[in-house]
Amino acid sequence: MKTKKKKKKNPSGTSAGGPRAASAPGRPSLAGARPGASGKGPVARPGDRVIAAEFTAGAKAPDQFPPPALVEIAFAGRSNVGKSSLLNRLMERRSLVRTSSTPGCTRQVSWFEVECDDKARFALVDLPGYGYARRSKTERTQWGELIDSFLLERPTLRGVALLVDVRRGLEPDDEELLEMLATPPRTSRPPLEVILVATKLDKLPSSQHKVRLAELERIAKVKVYGFSAATGLGRVELWRRLRRTAGLVPASIGVPRPAADASPSETSSPSETSSDGDAERRNAPLDATHGGRPHEDALHGSTEPH
């Protein structure tokens, strides 16, 4: 009588037919956006994950701005700083914000509403990139009026993340924007918090990360958050800072404020929670290819280089 041989389990996690399928080529893994994965990085907390994200509005003129609703954090930077890729990584979506190899494509302000795993909601606002030389004088003037109106008059705006290429640091255009951000708002809202982010950290050897970030902090005299959209490095740290700036605190735990970037204006407030209708509508994460994506002819997010 023949006996059946038991199949041995493969400790490597591969099946009998070969190794598990790898991610599609050319599509970056989002594993870096999931804190605590593989025992590396910060321990996961409520609010670290995004369970829903969608494009909600776009405006090419101040009279097209949507009515103020959720607390907003804006993202600004030069046309080639990788803002679109950073936003996609922060929202844990592959291509909700469009990217392009051509700088200067973004001509509008775009709103993206996000809901975290602790049900807190706020809006990320993508500002048009600046510093693109081929734009006409008229376009540059219109850009200035658009940004000036948003930054100085938007009542729900609480902070601006200023993105700079880690290899280039602050450039004259960035310094001009910092001067604008220091201007008192025209409304009764609190002064804006400025969060400096050094993008494209993966373009430098890991041995240079701390040295370069320390150098940028010495020049800017503020804490600098290193970030890589390609690997997800720095995603959790930056995300928690954005939530503090927005005044969102997880219901179960407080959010510690590191001494390096604490300020009197970083006060805590209860989380905003979704209504039953909103929670049902945003119950599942949106995929890059369908839910949350507007039609091709609708106003949409950025199209800038990685």
Q: All domains of the chain, ordered by start, with CATH?
A: 48-194+240-281 (3.40.50.300)
**What whole-number distance in Å separates Cα of residue 47 and Cα of residue 82?**
24
CA distances from 145 to 43, 60, 131, 303 (A): 42, 10, 15, 21
List the structure tokens of 134: 């081929």
Question: For position 262, what pLDDT does the model report?
Answer: 39
What is the phi/psi pair of residue 14, to 5°? -95, 155
pTM check: above 0.85: no
Query: Are 76 and 222 spatial neighbours (Cβ–Cβ below 8 Å)?
Result: no
Question: In angstroms, how far is the first alpha carbon of the chain from the final one?
Answer: 65
CA–CA gap between residue 46 and residue 49 (Å, rounded) = 7
The confidence score (pLDDT) of residue 135 equals 59
Query: Which of 143-157, 252-266, 278-292 has the lowest average pLDDT?
Result: 278-292
Neighbours of 42 (CB within 10 A): 13
Q: What is the per-residue pLDDT for 286?
A: 36
Q: How confident is the model at residue 211 (pLDDT cuts 50, 70, 90)?
A: very high
